């Protein structure tokens, strides 16, 4: 088991214990917790980022606006809010693969990606992804970037929150929006995983 996976499990156990304590002491109800989860699953989060990605894949003019000013382009789709004021999109290409990190804390574009995953906040991820990004991607995420592709690591901050515009997979021409949305993962928009496989 990798250190990142072990840390994820430890954090998940602590969260569950804290949730149980808050419910037992009457600070929060199960319904309130469920509502918070619903908000982050349906009203903010990676499904919104996926909508932006698919729009960029299918609308070259929108893609140009997104790369020029991500926050403004997202607002066109009604996506904005706290932690989304200064977003920058970096585009993956045949020759460049981008990865996002925040080496100081966990700055992250919440409106398009939702809550940051536990591993994103882990000091081991923050250190290793800057030193040996290919090795960390391979060993912790099972994702291999070809040697001929340059890897660029972007360090987010409270002034500038990066996220990745993944490449549209070949063979998806003519696909519906629903089919394309199913390909876009949060990990692909952070740069630690691929878009979904084309069937």
Are residues 77 and 44 in contact, defined by beta-carbon separation less than 8 angstroms?
A: no
Closest CA to 121 of 2, 1, 11: 11
Are residues 90 and 152 in contact, defined by beta-carbon separation less than 8 angstroms?
A: yes
Are residues 189 and 195 in contact, defined by beta-carbon separation less than 8 angstroms?
A: no
Q: Locate the DSSP E strands across the chain.
A: 87-91, 96-101, 150-155, 161-165
Measure the CA–CA gap between 136 and 3, rounded to whole angstroms.
11
Contacts of 1 (CB under 8 A, 6+ apart): none
Residue 190 CB neighbour total at 10 angstroms = 27
Residues identified as active-site: 102, 105-107
Measure the CA–CA gap between 67 and 70, rounded to whole angstroms.
6
Q: Locate the DSSP E strands across 45-186.
A: 87-91, 96-101, 150-155, 161-165
């Amino acid at each position: 088991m990798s250190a990142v996976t072990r840390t994820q499990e430890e954090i998940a156990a602590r969260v569950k214990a804290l949730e149980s304590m808050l419910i037992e002491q009457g600070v929060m109800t199960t319904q309130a917790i469920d509502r918070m989860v619903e908000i982050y699953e349906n009203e903010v989060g990676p499904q919104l980022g996926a909508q932006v990605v698919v729009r960029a894949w299918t609308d070259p003019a929108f893609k140009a606006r997104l790369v020029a000013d991500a926050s403004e382009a997202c607002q066109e789709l009604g996506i904005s809010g706290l932690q989304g004021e200064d977003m920058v999109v970096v585009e993956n290409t045949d020759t460049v693969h981008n990865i996002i990190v925040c080496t100081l804390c966990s700055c992250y574009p919440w409106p398009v990606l939702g809550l940051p995953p536990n591993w994103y906040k882990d000091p081991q991820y923050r250190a290793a992804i800057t030193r040996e990004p290919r090795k960390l991607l391979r060993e912790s995420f099972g994702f291999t970037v070809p040697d001929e592709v340059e890897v660029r690591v972007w360090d987010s901050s409270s002034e500038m929150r990066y996220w990745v515009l993944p490449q549209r997979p070949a063979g998806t021409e003519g696909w519906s929006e629903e089919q394309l949305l199913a390909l876009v993962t949060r990990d692909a928009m952070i740069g630690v995983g691929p878009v979904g496989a084309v069937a």
